[in-house]
Structure formats: structure tokens, C-alpha cells
Structure 1
Amino acid sequence: MNRDIESVIDDAIALISSLNSSPDSIPPYNVDAMKKCITNINKLYKKNADDLIILKSGSISENNRKQEVVITAQARQSCIEYIKRCCCTYLNERMLRIKHLRWKHGGHIPEKLKESMCEAELKWLQEYNSLLADFQSSLGENGVNLLLNMKPPHNLFVKVRAKQNIGSFELSDGTTVSLTENALHSLPVADCEMLIRQGMLELAKREAGKYAVPVKRGQFDATGRDTMYVDERRGEDRRQAKTDLLIGSGSIDRSI
């Protein structure tokens, strides 16, 4: 009996295992396992229906035999419910991941990820996008883009690096910035957020816990020697700290 139960729920377990093995992406839709789960549910249901007919017919007179049939039917029903929960969890989790990736990539899921989606999921995504577009256009005179400013920024400007040659990019204040591959820029979060999520820009990596303050808007010194570095742990300007040290040691006249 235990082996029979294990065999009918193996495919359901495989569905959940495929999600656990790829927690940050969408694994290819497992059509075969899903079909086997449906087939197993139908087989278990039919066996229970047949046993119920036998019990109602009174063809089984022994109480022990009746009890055995009832227990077996209950075990089958538990398997049915378990398989159903696994299938529903599989479909719901995939839907949540698709929705998350849709927002993460600025409304456009990469084609490589779409290849892992089934036809029903692609149709659902299309309808979801359509509903969101209608909702956004219905707000205000010019509509609202819900993809912008999804999180409150810690800073109004952010240091980014272009991952490819994007060309001229106009900021919200009319300033034009040339975004060339590997170039560093300090841009308003509201202007570059969409490009970051689409993979065209990336946040510049911080070195040794420090970040460069731009000499002027949108530009950084290539070597970093002419920029001011801020110690994140204490929030003190290194140059000012060095000046204070020289004054304290008498190297600089305090009256100056």
C-alpha cells in the first residue's frame, strides 16, 4: 500500500522539487508531470467510486473486509488531495514568479524566460499586461506609470554604469547625458530606474565600503583621485578628517 501511494504522488513531488531547484527563475513548464498527476487523480477517484458502489450493494458481508475497503478509500482520497495541493501550488507559484519578473524587468519579460512558460501562462501574462495598461491610462490626464518609483529612494541620485552603448539620454530636467558602455554617471533615481531594471544600466559596485561623490553632476573622475570619498561608517569627509589631523599635529598654522 505504501509503495502504491509513493508511486502516485511521485510526479506531484517532482513539480514542487523543480521549483525548489530554481528559486530565482522559472523552470520549464513540466507538461508530462502535470498530465500524470491529472491521470493519477482520475484513477484514484474511479477506484474510490467503484469501492463505494460495492459497499452500497452489500456484496461484502464481512466487517473486517468493509473496514479495509473504507480505510483504503480514505487513503486514496488523501492522495488525491495531496496531488491537488501540489498542482495548485505549482501553478500559483509560477504565476507569482511571472508577475514578479514582469515588474522586475520593467514590464518586459526576457524571451529566454518566456520559453519556459506554457501557452496558458503566456496568455495570462498578456491579459495581465492589458489590465495594467488600462488601469494606468485611466489615472489622471496623462496616466500614471506604476513601474516608476516603486520603492522610496535613499538618495535622489545614484551612481550607475552603462552595460552597453545607449547613446544620448535626456533627463527629466532636459539635460542630455551620453551613455556609453562602462561609463560611470550620477543620475536621478527617477530617470534611470527603468533602464536599471531593463538591464541597460547597473548600479556601480562600491569599493571597500566607500563610494565616490561626483565632482559635478553626471561625471566622475576616471581614477577616483580627484573625487571626495565619504566613509559610510562615520559619514565624515576624508579630506576634512585629514585637515583636522594636520592642524592637531601642528603641521598647519591654526590661525590660517
Structure 2
Amino acid sequence: MLSNQSTRLIADLKRGLSTGLPAFEEDRVRHLLAEIDALFQQNREAIGEALADSNNAALTAQEKELRAGRSHNSIQLRQAVMERNKRCLLAYLYHRLVQLRRMRWELGPILPANVQLNARDEEINWFSGYNRMLAHYMQTTGFDLTVNRQPPKSLFVEVRCLQDYGQLETEDGCLVNLKKGSHHYLLHSDTELLVRQGVLEHVGSNH
């Protein structure tokens, strides 16, 4: 019962992460868990048989040694496959969470609809918890860690609006109406998140 589902799981995830968060591979994950359980049961039975052979007076010492060697090799192979499957499953789950964490920093506290659709409830709960901890830390320290992640070349930047967004309240309390095609000269910190979300784009190179 040895398959290559674990390596395919990681390969498909790697391709999917380049465009967002791929749908959770429920069937493949369940297959790997079932494979781990089956291999574990086979090893437990093999160990029991090996112990019985070692106490079997009807077998010669040479026969016992031969059977023990065969059993040991099979047990080691199944154990290696179980460990591989577990590592791949843990890597799969971990890198999905890493992707969600990256999206929090790049896109803000609300996940895009397609990402929410592809995420499991447990992943959404993890994201919400991470979001609360980050918000609490920033509120406690008084620093918004999600802006100016890269030092800007200038304090103000010129931006073009790519979609109708509505009113934006800037850091100094002004209201700016963001309409598709409109140009604005704003503080870099007011525009950074909207640029990452695809609402605005920079004009020129001073950003």
C-alpha cells in the first residue's frame, strides 16, 4: 500500500501557492492518513510475528535469523514511508498557514472571497486568531506594522485609482474620493495597503 500521493500533494501545493490559496486536498489527505494507519497496523502485526518466531522452539537458529532479517527490512521500509507521509502532511498544513499569514500582511485583515472559499474552517479560525493578536500588539504599541514595510523613497506618492473604491480617510483626517481613473498625491502610508489590494497603482518611480 505504498503510493506517491504525499509528494504529489506537496508538488500541487507549490504550484497552487503561486496564485493564492488552492482548495484543500481533502481526499488526498484522507488517503495518506489511511495509508499511515494501514502501515502502522502491518508493522504491529509483523513485530508480533517476529516475537513469536524468536520464541518458536521448532525453528532453528538459522531460520530465526533469516525470518528476523526479512521482517526487519519490511518494518523499516514501512516505517520510512510513514515518516515521509507525516512530514509531507505537516509541510502541507504548515505552508498553507504561512500563505494565510503572508496574505494578512499584504492584503489586510479581510481575506479575498476566493481564498475564504478554499480555506478550511480551522484555517479561517487560525487566521482570525492571528489577526486579533497582531491587532492587539499594534494597538498596545501604537505602531501599525503593516505600513512602510519597505522604506519609501519619498513621503508622498502619486497614485492612479484602478477601481471605484469610495471615500478614503487619510492619516490627517481628510476624505479622498477614489474613483476609477482618478489621480491623487497622497502619503505613502495611506496608499500602501490599497496598492497591495489592487485598488491603486503607483505613477512614476517615487515609491
TM-score range for the pair, normalised by the shorter chain length: 0.7 to 0.9
Distance 2:173 2:66 in 1: 86
CA contact (8 A) 1:163 1:200 kept: yes
1:48 aligned residue: 43
Distance 1:173 1:114 in 2: 33
Higher relative contact order (CA 8 A, sep 6+): 2
TM-score (norm 1): 0.70
Greater share of helix: 2
One-letter code aligned to 1:117: A
Distance 1:43 1:66 in 2: 21
Rg larger for: 1
Structure 1 moving runs of 4+ over 3 Å: 166-178
Distance 1:174 1:196 in 2: 20
Residue-by-residue CA offset, 1:74-106 (whole Å, 9 max, x unaligned):
000000110011101101111100100111102
2:128 aligned residue: 126
1:115 aligned residue: 117
| 1:36 correspondence with 2:31 | yes
Residue-by-residue CA offset, 1:156-192 (whole Å, 9 max, x unaligned):
2222111123344444345554432112223220121
One-letter code aligned to 1:79: V
CA contact (8 A) 1:156 1:188 kept: yes
CA contact (8 A) 2:50 2:67 kept: no
5 Å matches for 1:45-194? 45-57=40-52, 58=54, 59=56, 62=63, 63-139=65-141, 143-173=142-172, 176-194=175-193
Distance 1:101 1:168 in 2: 24
1:244 aligned residue: none
One-letter code aligned to 1:39: A
Identity %: 29
Unpaired stretches in structure 2, ≥5 consecutive residues: none
Unpaired stretches in structure 1, ≥5 consecutive residues: 214-256
Distance 1:168 1:23 in 2: 32
CA contact (8 A) 2:17 2:99 kept: no
| 1:203 correspondence with 2:202 | yes
Alignment RMSD (CA, Å) = 2.1
1:27 aligned residue: 22
